[in-house]
């Protein structure tokens, strides 16, 4: 069983966002697997942390540009949540690059944060972005 299981309630109905969220979950699961690999897993763990953090931060940038295009009124508050979290995970990435073993602590952080963010914060922009896609015939 995967470390984090995708759940139906996490779907926003915006395909591009759901795809990116699922990819983050898949990176988290890859990191968990890398942590439990037999033998020397140091490089695999460090590489996965780098990919996971980079992808998550680029997802935030994508999401914010979409919110901007769609005219979401609470974009600044949403962006602030992303910045706070990006700073935290960027710090993990740097510590990992210096050889520190941060994997389990990063997994705990992501485990506690991601689903809460999708359900509590991302859910708030869904009506605005869905209307935007309908107006522009995109999805």
Give contact residues for Fe ion (rule: CB under 5 A): 63, 122
Name the residue number minimizing CB distance to Fe ion: 122
Q: Give the CA count within 13 Å in the CB-facing half-sphere of 122.
A: 24
Q: Closest distance between Fe ion and the C-beta of residue 3, in Å?
A: 21
Residue 59, SS3? Answer: helix
Angle at which helices 103-116 and 75-97 cross, to 10°: 170
Between 53 and 122, whose beta carbon lies closer to Fe ion? 122
Q: H helices of the chain, where?
A: 15-35, 42-70, 75-97, 103-116, 123-136
Between 17 and 34, whose beta carbon lies closer to Fe ion? 17
Q: Closest distance between Fe ion and the C-beta of residue 20, in Å?
A: 10
Structure tokens at 94: 């740097």
Between 81 and 95, whose beta carbon lies closer to Fe ion? 81
Q: Closest distance between Fe ion and the C-beta of residue 98, in Å?
A: 28
Q: Closest distance between Fe ion and the C-beta of residue 129, in Å?
A: 11
Between 97 and 124, whose beta carbon lies closer to Fe ion? 124
Structure tokens at 30: 């890859």
Name the one residue in this structure whose structure tokens are 């710090």. 91
């Amino acid at each position: 069983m995967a470390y984090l299981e995708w759940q139906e309630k996490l779907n926003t109905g915006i395909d591009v966002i759901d795809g990116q969220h699922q990819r983050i979950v898949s990176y988290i699961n890859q990191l968990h697997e890398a942590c439990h690999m037999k033998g020397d897993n140091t490089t695999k763990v460090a590489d996965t942390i780098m990919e996971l953090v980079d992808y998550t931060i680029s997802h935030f940038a994508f999401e914010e540009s979409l919110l901007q295009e769609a005219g979401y009124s609470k974009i600044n508050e949403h962006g602030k949540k992303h910045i706070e979290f990006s700073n935290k995970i960027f710090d993990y990435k740097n510590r990992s690059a210096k050889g520190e073993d941060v994997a389990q602590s990063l997994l705990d952080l992501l485990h506690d944060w991601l689903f809460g963010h999708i359900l509590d914060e991302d859910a708030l922009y869904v009506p605005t972005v869905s209307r935007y896609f309908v107006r522009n015939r995109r999805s």
